[in-house]
Each structure stands twice: as C-alpha cells, then as structure tokens.
Amino acid sequence: MNLLNTQTKSISFASLILAGSYLLSALLGIFRDRLLAGRFGLSNELDAYYSAFTIPDFIALILIFGAISAAIIPIFNSYLVRSKDEAWHYINNLLNIFLSFLIVASLISIIFAPLLIHLIAPGFSPEKKEMTVMLMRIMFLSPIILGTSSIISGILQVFHRFLVTALAPIMYNVGIIIGILFFVPKFGLVGLAFGVVFGALLHLLIQIPAFLHSGFKYRPVFDLKSPGIKKTFKLMLPRSLGLGAGQLNTITVTAIASTLMSGSIAVFTVAHNLSSLLINAIAASLSTVIFPAMSKAFSREDIHDFKRKFNSAFSQILFLSIPISIEIFLLRAQIIRVFYGTGKVTWMDTRLAAACLGIFSLGLFAQGLIFLLSKTFYAAHNTKIPAIISGATVAFNISMSFLFIWLLSFTNAFSDFLHVILKMQTVQNISVVGLALAFTITAICEALLLLFFVHKKLRIFHLSQVAKSLYKIIISGSVMGVVILLIRNGLVYYNIVNLQTTLGVFLQLILSALAGLICYIIIAFMLKTEELTKIKGLFKK
C-alpha cells in the first residue's frame, strides 16, 4: 500500500518510471498479440476483435482523454491552490457527470452496434459482422470503467503519484492476457471481450487505494452549471476534436482494410502496435512528464526556460527514435518471425506484417515528435492548432490510403518499386502495405506542420541547436546501420545461426540489434553528443 502511494517529484525519475511502465506494458501487449496470433492466426477472428475496439476507444477518447490533458489537471490544480474542499467537490461533480455521459453513450452504442459495424467494416461478410457486433457490445463496458480510471490517473499525477498510474496500463494488459489464457478456452471468442473488460477493471482497482489516500471522499453532486464544469468543457472541446480526428482516422483505416483480403486489419494492427512499442515508451513518457514543467514555465512567463525544455526534449526524442527506426527497418523480418511466427500465423502473413512494420519504422521519429509538439501547444494554452492540424491530416491520410491501394492493385513503377524495396516480389496482393505507407507519410506531414506553427506562434524552436544534434545522430545511426547489416548477414554467411529455427532467428535479431546499439552509443560518445550525456546523468541519479 505504501509503495503505491509513493510520490515522485523529480521530473527525470518520473519520466524514467513512466518510460519503464510504457515499455513493460508494450511488451505485455506484444505477448498478448502473440497469444492472439498463435491461437487465431491473422484471420477473420482477429479482424473482428480489432475492429470491435474502434468505437469504444472513440467514445473514451472524445469524452475523457481530451479532458484530462487539456482541462482536468490544470483546473483541479487551480482549485487546489485555493481550497482542497473546492478541488474535491469539482472532482466529485466531474466524475458523476462524465460517468453518466459514458453510460448513456455506451448504451446508445450497444443498441446501434449493428449499424456502427456496417459503417466501420463495410467489407465484412454477414457472419463476420455478427461476430464483431457481439464483441463490441461487451467491450462497451470498457470505456465506462477506463474513463473513470483515467480521470483518477490524472488527479494522482497532480499529487506526483506516478508509480501507481504507471502500473495501471500494465494491469490492463494483464487482464486481457488472462482473458486469452482462461476466458477464451471456456467462452470462445467472446472471452476476448471479457478479457478487455476485466483488464479495464484492474486498471481502475489498482488506483483506488491511492486515490482515497490522496483525500478523495465521494459526494453525490451533479451540477452542469458549475463554473469548473463549464470551463472543463470549453478547454476540452478542441483537444477532444483533435483526438477524435485521430481515432476517426483509425476507424477509416479499419473500414478500408475490411474491403481488402481477410486478415488485413490484423496485419496492419499487429505491425502498428509493434512499431509503436519503444517510441511510445520514450515520447509519451517524456512529453507527459515535461508537460507540467512547461506549463509552469509558461505561466511564469519564463520563455527562456520554456524554450530550453522544449528543445532539450525535441533533441532527446530524435536521439532515441532514429536508432530505433534503423534497427526496426533492418531487422523487421526477424522481429515479426520472433514475436508472431507461431501457431496459425502463415508465412504470407509474416511477410506482409514485416513489410508494414518496415514502413511504419520510417515515421517513428515523427510520431514521437507529435507527442511533444502537441503538449507544447497545450502548455501554452492553445488546443485549437493541434486539433485543426489533426483534422486536416485525417483527410490527407484517407486520400493517400485510397491512392496507394489503387496504385498497388495493378502493375506499375510504384508497385514494382515497393515489391523490390520490401523484398515482396513473390507476393501478389500487398494492398495493406499502402495503408501503412499512407499512415507514415501522414505522420511526417503532421509533425512538420506542428513544428512550423510552434515556431511561428511561439518562436521557441532553436534550429542550430537541433541541427547540431541531428548531424551527430545521423552519423552515429549510419555507422550503426552498417554494423547491423554486417552482423545480420555474417551470422548467416558463416552458418553461425540456423534461420529455420526460432532460436536461430532470435539469436540473429538479438546479436545484430545489440551490436548496432553498442556501436551507436560508442559513436555518439566519441562525437560528444549532448543527449547521451543527459541520459547518462539520468541513470546516475
């Protein structure tokens, strides 16, 4: 109990805790996806499972997650400065109102689930749609529980209780894994949906003791006219629209993928989840922890400190994301074979997933920067620009998705180039790769747009400082890439590993990745890269 109530006031240590939790949660997510792939293959069942997530996630994002980052934390803080009683009254009122909204929205969605499935998965067969409806109706319990739990997480972060909030997403994945291992054998496919609900429940339960210990006492208040509630809705609206646009993007990609060959949704989702593993651990944790510090600097009108924190985080994300991208792209086939080459997963599924993973890896730096750039606007009390850019990029991604799928549907210079560069010459249908390519290009464009407006509106981007860091990162990354290729190919050429076995592929992956990483660190050290010094200092602390 005392451990879960631990307060973490150091930004560096809090960032490390969150990074570790994101990484562990992501690893559990990969283990979860491996169990799913082994049991069902990248097939109709997983297409239905991943599709069923879309609308419940959409509801939670619109009503909760936008409010937490843009409104709840700063408003609760402002009340807390004046009076603890007022602050807890605001939270009671907020929880009651949002919980009511979530219940109503979920009930309406349960009733109209068949219509929703028809919209998000028009290419599914009637049997596949029925399967997805069944899963989705059960999963609509999840946003009610997760929504409440996420509000609690935001409040606990105000009290610097990062450890327990870091454990919550881990428990969520543990619940889903329990569903796969124990519920599926007993209940069949619906066991997956029960696992999701059970995971959401664990996400909530682990945080309640710390929440109560922070001073929360439930009160049955429900006042929509409260100034705090009005301000919450006013601040959360642009952020929610921006998040909703991003989720709408996911829904649209799912709809398009449903018209492609069976398993396309599963292939896309598995590759995307895997590519996001480390970048989420780095960028999400860093931007989450630095957000309050940047907000405080902006409130103090200390632009120098605001600028320093932004440029430091910007360079750190590049320093960590670029080598990850190189390793994933060069070792994409080995990664997919090790993590998903099991059970009912076919060789064709593996090759398609590896191709998508390689394309996703090219945009990881942009995905990482989007976290930071968006938070920078929120710290400066500007939620409109990220929302507008997010909405614009959704339309762009949809257009690019249709274009690339069309170009990959017949033989031409573009499709021939992708077949060669991704080593897919013997694979006839690679349309799903077009979705990954559209996603990556869109992420890069979104990051560039956000950076342009950060510089235009806030004037905090220090180009010469970042360029100096980027120069050293590119040199280190280039040498790293050469080393990975030499080790990867040398292990096969000298018959050190047997690629016909999982152990052989695993050894090729680990040895190549470790050699590349060590090389990157050595070259960065020789070049006296500032970001390496900062990370070294963090671990010393």
How confident is the model at residue 12, as a pLDDT? Answer: 56
- Helix, strand, or coil here: 312? helix
Average pLDDT (291-303) is 76
pLDDT at 443 over 60: yes
Classify residue 223 as left (phi > 0), alpha (psi -120 to 50) or beta.
beta
- The model's confidence at residue 404, banded by pLDDT at 50, 70 and 90, is very high
- Helix, strand, or coil here: 305? helix
pLDDT at 286 over 80: no
Neighbours of 53 (CB within 10 A): 18
How confident is the model at residue 77, as a pLDDT? Answer: 77
pLDDT at 18 over 80: no
pLDDT at 3 over 80: no
Give the range among 189-193, 308-312, 369-373 with minimum mean pLDDT.
308-312
How confident is the model at residue 30, as a pLDDT? Answer: 81
Give the range among 67-76, 211-220, 240-249, 475-484 with minimum mean pLDDT.
67-76
Can you spell out the DSSP letters for 166-177?
HHHHHHHHHHHH
- The model's confidence at residue 8, banded by pLDDT at 50, 70 and 90, is low
Average pLDDT (440-459) is 92
| Percent of the chain predicted with pLDDT > 90 | 37
pLDDT tens for residues 114-150? Answer: 999 998 899 898 999 999 999 999 999 998 998 889 8
Query: How far apart (Å, rounded) are the C-alpha atoms in residues 290 and 283?
Result: 10
Q: ∠395-400-405 over CA atoms, to 5°?
A: 135
Nearest to 157 by CA among 199, 210, 206: 210
pLDDT at 171 over 60: yes
Residues, the chain, total? 541
Nearest to 356 by CA among 328, 324, 396, 318: 328
pLDDT tens for residues 42-84? Answer: 778 888 988 998 888 888 777 666 556 556 777 887 788 788 8
pLDDT at 246 over 80: no
How confident is the model at residue 110, as a pLDDT? Answer: 93
Nearest to 434 by CA among 267, 292, 305, 313: 267
How confident is the model at residue 117, as a pLDDT? Answer: 92
How confident is the model at residue 311, as a pLDDT? Answer: 86
Average pLDDT (406-422) is 90
Q: What's the mean per-residue pLDDT of the chain?
A: 85
CA dihedral 195, 196, 198, 204 (to 10 degrees): 160
pLDDT at 31 over 90: no
pLDDT at 539 over 60: no
How confident is the model at residue 295, as a pLDDT? Answer: 73
How confident is the model at residue 441, as a pLDDT? Answer: 96
- The model's confidence at residue 89, banded by pLDDT at 50, 70 and 90, is very high
Nearest to 436 by CA among 276, 320, 281: 276
How confident is the model at residue 344, as a pLDDT? Answer: 73
The better pLDDT of the pair 100, 302 is held by 100
How confident is the model at residue 218, as a pLDDT? Answer: 92
Average pLDDT (216-236) is 87
pLDDT at 280 over 90: no
- The model's confidence at residue 407, banded by pLDDT at 50, 70 and 90, is very high
Give the range among 191-205, 363-377, 509-523 with minimum mean pLDDT.
363-377
Query: How far apart (Å, rounded) are the C-alpha atoms in residues 327 and 510?
Result: 11
Instruction: Tell me 490's DSSP state.
Output: H
| Percent of the chain predicted with pLDDT > 70 | 92
How confident is the model at residue 13, as a pLDDT? Answer: 65
pLDDT at 537 over 70: no
Query: How far apart (Å, rounded) are the C-alpha atoms in residues 200 and 175?
Result: 7
How confident is the model at residue 253, as a pLDDT? Answer: 86
Contacts of 85 (CB under 8 A, 6+ apart): none
Give the range among 14-18, 364-368, 426-430, 529-533 with minimum mean pLDDT.
14-18
pLDDT at 181 over 60: yes
